[in-house]
């Protein structure tokens, strides 16, 4: 048995965030034993243990310090915070992860006469998000009844359990196939890395290291390395077109005194438009390649 300290992270066991969250750790250079049936995976090359749990349970894992980090949808965290009597108040959204995007919306049957939130006065709304919905209605001075359901919220109007619903929408297919129309967005959500107030300074250091790797992966994922040849005369114009690059490297091209090679890291997408602009400014041999890792 070794006694090294290990950071513990909670990740959704199955569902929308599960695979991509594990992939994010893999991309950060962390090798996990692959077994999905177990609750706990140990990283082999980093002091990290991964707990695979239901996303609903992750805030409690963090609040009780079973885990110090968790990946979950903002919708889940904020709902727990809305109903949690301060129990989850210290959990901090540390880093948005850019996946698992959805919105929590009010949706009504096609024949429901909706002319703004006031149409909900006196109506019954089915939802699994009574905390967020309740706070939203209160903030907008709407007096409606909330019926809490754990799932299959979208069938509530058809079965006359409720007049309208408040549920997560991603593609919108579930609403459409149940004859419902999205009317008002309460919350826009994506997956976030959530942290508790880590007391142990060694664990805090491990956490910082993991966060810096994840940020580096995120930066690399949206950055591109671009190489091109430019007429010396149009160098300034070409630099101006390169998206989100700081100081490009400019190198001589053997046998050419009118052209130089330009290499740059672009921290934004390089689209066809940009490449066409570069070409219009006299660039040629334009190459755009992905970046696997970057660290300042
Ligand atoms: C969510 C939500 C909707 C559906 C919306 O359910 O409750 O049913 O996704 O997605 P769409 O707009 O792409 O159709 P989820 O699949 O997460 O399962 P659950 O309702 O059982 O929690
Ligand atoms: Zn659903």
Top mutation candidate among 12, 174, 181, 191 for ligand 1, by most atoms within 8 Å of CB: 174
89-98: average pLDDT: 96
pLDDT for the residue numbered 276: 94
pLDDT band of 8, cuts 50, 70, 90: very high
Contacts made by residues 75-79, CB under 8 angstroms, sequence distance 24+? 75/102, 75/104, 75/129, 75/132, 75/168, 75/187, 75/189, 77/192, 77/194, 78/131, 78/132, 78/187, 78/189, 79/129, 79/131, 79/132
Nearest-angstrom CA–CA distance, 230 and 197 = 51
pLDDT at 67 over 90: yes
pLDDT band of 216, cuts 50, 70, 90: very high
Gyration radius (Cα) of the chain, Å: 25
Check residues 153 and 295 and name the one with the higher pLDDT. 153
CA of 212 to the centre of ligand 1 (A): 32
- Atom 19 of ligand 1: nearest residue by CA position: 151
CA of 167 to the centre of ligand 1 (A): 8
Nearest-angstrom CA–CA distance, 224 and 209 = 24
Using CA atoms of 65, 68, 72, 74 in order, give the dihedral in degrees to the nearest 10: 80
pLDDT for the residue numbered 247: 86
pLDDT for the residue numbered 36: 65
Q: What percent of the chain has pLDDT over 90?
A: 86
pLDDT at 70 over 70: yes
CA of 12 to the centre of ligand 1 (A): 15
Atom of ligand 1 nearest to the CA of 167: 7
The answer to whether 107 and 169 have CB atoms below 8 angstroms apart is yes
Residue 105 pairs in a beta bridge with 167, 185
pLDDT for the residue numbered 244: 76
CA 163 remoteness from chain centre:
32
Nearest-angstrom CA–CA distance, 78 and 85 = 12
Nearest-angstrom CA–CA distance, 214 and 207 = 11
Q: Phi-psi bin for 246: left (phi > 0), alpha (psi -120 to 50), beta? A: alpha
Atom of ligand 1 nearest to the CA of 174: 14
171-191: average pLDDT: 97
pLDDT, the chain, mean: 94
Give the closest ligand to the alpha carbon of residue 104. 1
133-155: average pLDDT: 97
Check residues 39 and 203 and name the one with the higher pLDDT. 203
Residue 123 structure tokens: 């109506």
**In angstroms, what CA-CA distances link 282 with 29, 229, 238, 268, 273?**
40, 9, 8, 22, 14
Burial class (CB in 10 A: 0-12, 13-18, 19+), 28: buried
pLDDT tens per residue, range 107-121 = 999 999 999 999 999
CA of 175 to the centre of ligand 2 (A): 10
Atom of ligand 1 nearest to the CA of 177: 14
41-45: average pLDDT: 92
Nearest-angstrom CA–CA distance, 8 and 69 = 6
pLDDT for the residue numbered 267: 84
pLDDT tens per residue, range 264-276 = 999 887 889 999 9
pLDDT for the residue numbered 235: 94
pLDDT at 179 over 80: yes
pLDDT band of 2, cuts 50, 70, 90: low
CA of 162 to the centre of ligand 1 (A): 18
pLDDT at 239 over 70: yes
* Across 70-74, 160-164, 264-268, least confident range: 264-268
Q: What percent of the chain has pLDDT over 70?
A: 98
Residue 97 structure tokens: 């992860």
């Amino acid at each position: 048995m070794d006694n090294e300290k290990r950071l513990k992270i909670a990740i959704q066991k199955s569902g929308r965030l599960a695979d991509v969250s594990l992939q994010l750790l893999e991309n950060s250079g962390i090798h996990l034993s692959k077994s999905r049936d177990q609750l706990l995976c140990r990283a082999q090359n980093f002091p990290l243990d991964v707990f695979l749990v239901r996303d609903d349970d992750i805030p409690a894992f963090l609040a009780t310090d079973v885990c110090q980090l968790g990946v979950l949808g903002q919708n889940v965290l904020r709902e727990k915070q809305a109903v949690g009597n301060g129990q989850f108040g210290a959990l901090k959204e540390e880093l948005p992860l850019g996946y698992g995007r959805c919105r929590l919306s009010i949706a009504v049957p096609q024949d429901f006469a909706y002319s703004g939130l006031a149409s909900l006065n006196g109506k019954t709304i089915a939802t699994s998000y009574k905390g967020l919905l309740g706070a939203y209605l209160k903030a907008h001075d709407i007096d409606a009844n909330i019926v809490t359901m754990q799932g299959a919220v979208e069938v509530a109007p058809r079965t006359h359990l409720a007049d309208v619903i408040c549920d997560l929408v991603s593609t919108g297919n579930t609403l459409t196939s149940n004859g419902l129309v999205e009317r008002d967005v309460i919350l826009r959500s994506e997956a976030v890395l959530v942290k508790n107030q880590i007391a142990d300074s060694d664990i805090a250091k491990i956490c910082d290291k993991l966060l810096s790797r994840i940020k580096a992966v995120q930066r690399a994922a949206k950055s591109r390395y671009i190489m091109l040849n430019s007429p010396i005369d149009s160098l300034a114009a070409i630099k101006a077109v390169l998206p989100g690059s700081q100081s490009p490297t400019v190198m001589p091209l053997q046998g050419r005194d009118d052209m130089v090679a330009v290499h740059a890291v672009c921290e934004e997408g390089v689209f066809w438009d940009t490449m066409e602009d570069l070409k219009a400014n006299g660039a040629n041999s334009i190459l755009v390649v992905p970046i696997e890792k970057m660290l300042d």
